[in-house]
Chain A
């Protein structure tokens, strides 16, 4: 009996024993075709999905390699049916190819006539096709390049897009590596993207995705459209680009709710792009405003549906997606695959942490016991009010204060969902608060002050969830959240994961009310964090208070 580190489960998950001597080799062998799903301390779980297999195919791996990796590392015999299924699934990618022909423009060709016949008969595909050129190829309307890829993926025959890209309007961009250098993995990620043409780069929060974007622009040497989640994030991209590249203030435009600048490099928010007036997307022309050579999508996992539709029309332009996770809570991973491109680079959080690029974090859940009176009130609360009630219970305030005191001298973020609670906390902690109504100017002033350590405690609402850069926050205290979303968790954790000047570890507290729905949501969080491999600990609020 072999004693490999890998156990193949019948549900197509792979269990990898981390402490096994061959675990490292095994991880490298299976990473191309299996998505890391959970990475707790001893046994990591990978999942083999069709998309993962197709990603592997796109990266040049074949079924033989995949099967060989499974058989050679598996401890127990691998079910034959699973191997057959893998080979079958992988063989589906690339049977159809989108190619450019001088005569017919865009064509769909196939090495397998039967497959071509099958897709030609699909009702969804037919309108996108032009005339039949030969037995094995058919013309495709150039405007349908994105849609047909989406539709083919749904049919289970993902097409390989070899139709190439337009170069776009040239614009010189270089990285100014004077006071800093590109980290090896950032360089690898940018190179991998460039060779693939289009695709997604998966890097943990704090791993410097912006810089990967800048490196991609340096490859493209062309005008670039950058789509980001919100205005603050747009500012930060701008700051980062000014700092890291040869671009000047005049070359970078912001296209947001307040400014509508179109420059060689333009940063737009998803929000403004998806604004509709009388049912019409009013800012669509931005996509055609210039001959863009590169489109960067920040936080691909949050890409809203209208942007997908617009992206379908941008298939001739190079596209790079940046994200911390391919998991989308709406399950549209397939659209990311077909419209933005396959995964081009991936590095798990833990690996990055071990290499010292991101700070290790300790997660602590603090359980607050409600007073008898609060419990009675909680039991009587309407069901829709229950979460708010237990999440904002006054008992939390005391614990939070104690925790802040415990970390006096460190940069502390207090994160919450409910404004009343945040205001109250701010008052108790004597700290400024950033919430939805805080003006952008004021926000940036506070962020800067926090960065400069003029203020050490900052209370923020969920507006700070995305793409803000707070390099020196070493402690985060979460008092309430949006019902345990995994997405939010990844983002909040990202806040404290950036490497610290001191090199010290980060702390992530969640204050939770015992025996309430708050605790149930915390269980989701706990699971997520533990699955990401973070040390997780549960302590009682009484212990915290007693330690005073």
Chain B
């Protein structure tokens, strides 16, 4: 363990430790027992890699510069660092270097990737190990030539310094020392000729390795034939395998003219793309937002009455997705997006984990009655924070299984973060600018250079496509309400309690509302039996028309078509022909066309001429007077008889009951074998409970302040214990403390707040009562995390097993 680094970390103020673990939350999951634990974790390859992943291109370049310029864990002064970085920048830009460089170094120190005073900045241990080819540079000469046989090295040294007095030390060191001298390398380069020089230039800016058959061939300056052989003979290129060669770092630096990076810019690359009218873009986005909300509603309405099944593996069958795409009249990827967002917003859920159905939830009923803008906000937020990638639907995973929509395997940990980052980039563009996808990717590559790759590019593309469809963007430009939603998402983490002051910026919904098309309360009726609603309808009229007519075309307007079946549907729902005509007259801007009026009356004329009802038994008799008599009999009233025809009476009671009762009254009926109870049922809308879906944190998880403070306290406590080589404290004798459970929690909370020690009674897993001295650190989920002085370690204690708490002193 690097004691220097450990001591530096130990010497930091608590506040800075808090900053550190807040910036690198993986260091405290779980909380390390002591500071050395923290160091081990912070310098591990995985944690270092994750920390480097968070750096932007400039900060990473600073790390790489330190790495290259301070070999062998040496230090580099801030001034030298600045000089080297300045060399890497295009001339003229260096004037603006000071501030970003200072910021970058501060940030790196805050993240404990760099430590030490300005006079001697050092990289944290571990950083070197995870940087294989920093800035595209190969390994230093000592490493490159380490495994070459000594006689070969001697040969190279001869070739390199041409009989000048040799140096002391190991052969490898001597060779490396020679190559590190710029003058020598320059001279060697002059010797090899332009072709060889060109080959080196290919490798100069990385990647530093090349393929060469029979790379380990024996060549000397005298025998060298080809340009490559001339290089090999002088150690300007070295074999790393049977058919691969590498350019040693020292040589590359000379070729680069002392620069570590080419064209380094401290600032993020600017976004470029098409210029649009922001208000037009806002309107377009609002139009899209409106239609997205409508599509979701339509989906839920469909599934209310015709729910698709849940696959055994979870998810929705391909067939069902195709069907819903057809019903919604959208391409399949859009249907997948709609389904996923609806699910993420908790509006649909599976009714059972096995053999269930996808049904709208009770939350849907609440969502449905909200204003369009609020409904959009709910959907957009759900999409923004979802860790699922609808764009992958239809592809196959690594095990060649088809990825279905709503399938559990559609989760991707990076999804929410990439989405948020992409949208932030779009939002950072100037008003009216539709950034090209290249420039968005370029910007993201600057922000997280280590995280770029084809997969992330795809996530970015998905995000851009989906954002447009959901209405975050219009014409590729971030809409004003999309911006609002992003702002809201960033400000109010983690607790999203609306405590907005009056002067607070408008909510996304408030921004969206005025952009949405005004609902209209009229339609245009035409002789081809269509009704055109020239905009979104008021909900009452919309529902009525959806009942009495079939929707034919959707978009800015809605085209409804009246057909016999649709009118019958309205009549079934209790309207009369007069009602229908009155409704049409009221809401039509034009006279009701004669063919439509005719159709209405014609369907109504035939509607209900045949009546169907439910009866459990019937009584028939050829003699109407006998039935008259029976109907008049008071004792027959409980049978709820109804005269259907002079010779037929129906009853709601069962055949057996009717027969028995009539016998009791004094008739002699005979039971008749029959069948034919026709039940008319209408499929009811069904609902399931909303699933308690796990909500991933928005973007990269940032631990809350309380947790950070608690962790730092725990580490400090652990460290103290560790340093003092404290021995377990003996538990006090006497009666184990007992206190009521509410008191326990309060006392522990108090102890956490004050950082004081407590004495508790604890039932261990075998049920034995024990007694401990604790330094409580935090309490959550029914557990207390505390440093146990009696065991000299951090433990978690189940609250319900704590029998009582007492102060130690």
Query: Which residues of A line the B interface, CB within 8 A?
Result: 1, 7-11, 13, 15, 17, 38, 40-43, 45, 71, 74-81, 365, 515, 526-527, 530-531, 535-538
Contact = CB atoms under 8 A, between A and B. Distances in A.
Nearest 4 pairs between A and B by C-beta?
A9-B555, A76-B556, A530-B528, A77-B287
Contact of A76 (B287, B329, B590, B606): B287
A538 B527 contact: no
A80 B475 contact: yes
B784 to A, nearest CB: 55
B216 interface: no
Contacts of B529: 526-527, 530
Nearest to B531: A43
Contacts of A7: 534, 555-557
B468 interface: yes
A536 B476 contact: no
Contacts of B606: 515
Contacts of A80: 284, 288, 468, 474-476
B87 interface: no
Given A9-B553, A9-B557, A11-B554, A537 B595 contact: yes
Given A42-B532, A76-B535, A80-B475, A530 B527 contact: yes
Contacts of A10: 291, 329-330, 554-555
B534 A527 contact: no
13 contacts: A8-B556, A10-B554, A11-B329, A11-B555, A15-B557, A40-B528, A40-B530, A79-B291, A80-B476, A527-B528, A530-B526, A531-B528, A537-B594
B517 interface: yes
A292 to B, nearest CB: 43
Contact of B553 (A13, A527, A531): A13
B372 to A, nearest CB: 14
Given A7-B557, A10-B291, A38-B528, 20 more contacts: A8-B556, A9-B554, A17-B524, A41-B593, A43-B526, A43-B532, A45-B559, A75-B535, A76-B283, A76-B555, A77-B284, A77-B287, A79-B284, A79-B288, A81-B468, A526-B529, A526-B595, A530-B527, A530-B529, A536-B527
A363 to B, nearest CB: 9
Contacts of B555: 7-11, 13, 76, 79
B691 interface: no
Contacts, number: 115
A533 B278 CA distance: 40
Most B CB contacts (10 A, CB to CB) among A7, A71, A527 go to A7
Q: Which secondary structure characterizes the binding site on chain A?
A: mixed
A110 B533 CA distance: 45
Contacts of A535: 527
B532 A15 contact: yes
Interface in B270-289: 280, 283-288
Contacts of A43: 524, 526, 530, 532, 534
B536 to A, nearest CB: 9
A302 B759 CA distance: 98
A527 B535 CA distance: 24
B598 interface: yes
A536 B475 CA distance: 43
B469 interface: yes
A538 B598 contact: yes
B528 A81 contact: no
A176 to B, nearest CB: 43
A98 B553 CA distance: 39
Nearest to A531: B528
A78 B599 CA distance: 35
B527 A41 contact: yes
A38 B285 CA distance: 30
B284 A78 contact: yes
Size bracket of the B interface:
35 or more
Contacts of B280: 71, 77
Contacts of A75: 534-535, 556
Contacts of A77: 280, 283-288, 474, 556
B596 to A, nearest CB: 10
Contacts of A17: 524, 534
A3 to B, nearest CB: 10
A8 B559 CA distance: 12
A8 B283 CA distance: 14
Nearest to B475: A80
Nearest to A519: B602
B242 to A, nearest CB: 38
Contacts of A13: 553, 555, 559
Interface string B515-553: 001100000111111101011000000000000000001
A42 B590 contact: yes
A81 B473 CA distance: 12
Contacts of A40: 526-528, 530
A497 B595 CA distance: 22
B595 A74 contact: no
Nearest to A532: B528
A11 B594 CA distance: 29
B330 to A, nearest CB: 8
Interface string B421-449: 00000000000000000000000000000
Contacts of A81: 468-469
Contacts of B530: 40, 43
B284 A536 contact: no
Contacts of A15: 532, 534, 553, 557, 559
Contacts of A538: 594-595, 598-599
Given A531-B528, A538-B598, A11 B284 contact: no
Contacts of A537: 594-595
Contacts of B534: 7, 15, 17, 43, 75
A530 B599 CA distance: 14
B474 A9 contact: no
A42 B528 contact: no
A11 B525 CA distance: 21
B106 to A, nearest CB: 43
Nearest to A11: B553
Contacts of B593: 41, 536
B382 to A, nearest CB: 22
A80 B284 CA distance: 7
A13 B329 CA distance: 13
B58 to A, nearest CB: 34
A252 B628 CA distance: 90
Contacts of A11: 329, 553-555
Contacts of B554: 9-11
B595 A536 contact: yes
B552 to A, nearest CB: 9
A388 to B, nearest CB: 23
Contacts of B286: 77
A538 B601 CA distance: 12
B526 to A, nearest CB: 4
A515 B526 CA distance: 23
Nearest to B285: A77
B196 to A, nearest CB: 35
Contacts of B474: 77, 80
Nearest to A540: B598
B51 to A, nearest CB: 39
A117 to B, nearest CB: 23
A278 B380 CA distance: 68
A342 B330 CA distance: 29
A45 B518 CA distance: 22
Contacts of B291: 10, 79
B517 A76 contact: yes
A448 to B, nearest CB: 37
Nearest to B477: A80
A78 B556 CA distance: 8
Interface in B460-497: 468-469, 474-476
A438 B598 CA distance: 40
Contacts of A515: 606
Most B CB contacts (10 A, CB to CB) among A43, A81, A527, A538 go to A43
A277 B764 CA distance: 101
